[in-house]
A and B are shown apart, each in its own frame.
Chain A
Amino acid sequence: EADIYQTPRYLVIGTGKKITLECSQTMGHDKMYWYQQDPGMELHLIHYSYGVNSTEKGDLSSESTVSRIRTEHFPLTLESARPSHTSQYLCASSESMGRANEQFFGPGTRLTVL
């Protein structure tokens, strides 16, 4: 079982609200990722981080922002939620190696914007 946690697991919120999705891992991994996923569909990378103070945009354009102040914590923020943001958000982490390797996933946050 991976030691990566996401809160909340489910969130229903009105349009225009500011939200922060939390992600924490206790594995000491340098690399962390946020993916957006519609039910049963492929995962789209929206943000990633190589380590503290590093944040990069992924392949899928997103209005969300991220921060990485501590190794274990990688929160995602939406300043003004819209119905188009309704989706599942998955956080992941991996060891920092010279080559690609396994990513460990959290349980996800299912976001619904009304």
Chain B
Amino acid sequence: GESVGLHLPTLSVQEGDNSIINCAYSNSASDYFIWYKQESGKGPQFIIDIRSNMDKRQGQRVTVLLNKTVKHLSLQIAATQPGDSAVYFCAVNNAGNMLTFGGGTRLMVKP
């Protein structure tokens, strides 16, 4: 089955710096990738997604990069703000078109 892992359980960045959160997946047939943000006491919220026919997609202050060769996905947050503090999850579709979630990276923003 699909396995999804994040490289770091915790990431601490200075306010204003850029943040990069990485994710690795195992199934080369996966074709849909999504990043969620989860704040304390809330459900996960959609940030950005990308399909396998693209290798980069940009949103407001966020960019997702997909490297299908090494099965790696990253989320870049520009000019990180205190409101960006949360746990970030990547998720990848599996054979049943369900989502398999990674373990989450806690982003802490230092003022």
User: Which residue of chain A has its CB nearest to the CB of B6?
Assistant: A42
Within 8 A of A (CB), among B32-71: 32, 34, 36, 41-46, 49
Question: A108's contact among B43, B99, B100, B102, by CB below 8 Å, is which?
Answer: B43
Q: Which of chain A's residues have a CB closer than 8 A to the CB of B46?
A: 102, 104
Return the CB mask of B6-39 against A: 1 if under 8 Å, else 0.
Answer: 0000000000000000000000000110101000
Complex interface: chain B residues within 8 A of A35 (CB) = 101
**How many whole Å from B12's CB to the nearest CB in chain A?**
15
In the assembled complex, the CB of A22 is this many whole angstroms from the nearest CB of chain B, namely: 14
Query: A40–B45 Cα gap in the complex (Å)?
Result: 14
Within 8 A of A (CB), among B77-106: 87, 89, 93, 97-104, 106
Majority DSSP secondary structure for residues of B touching A: strand
Residues of A in contact with B, size category? 20 to 34
B87 touches A40 (CB 8 A): yes
Q: How far is the CA of A99 from the CA of B89 in the complex (A)?
A: 20
Could you say which interface size class chain B belongs to? 20 to 34
A43 vs B102: C-alpha distance in the bound complex, in angstroms?
A: 8
Q: Which residues of B contact A42 (CB under 8 A)?
A: 4, 89, 101-104
B41 partner residues in chain A, CB cutoff 8 A: 107-108
Could you tell me the distance between the alpha carbons of A107 and B41 in the complex, rounded to whole angstroms?
Answer: 7
Interface residues of B (CB under 8 A from A): 1, 4, 31-32, 34, 36, 41-46, 49, 87, 89, 93, 97-104, 106
Q: Which A residues have a C-beta under 8 Å from some C-beta of B? A: 2, 6, 33, 35, 40-43, 45, 48, 58-59, 90, 92, 99-108
Would you give 14 A-B contacts (Cβ < 8 Å), ordered by A? A40-B87, A42-B4, A42-B102, A42-B103, A48-B98, A92-B43, A100-B32, A100-B93, A102-B46, A104-B46, A105-B36, A105-B44, A106-B43, A108-B41
Chain A to chain B: the 4 pairs with minimum beta-carbon distance, closest first: A100-B93, A105-B43, A100-B32, A43-B101
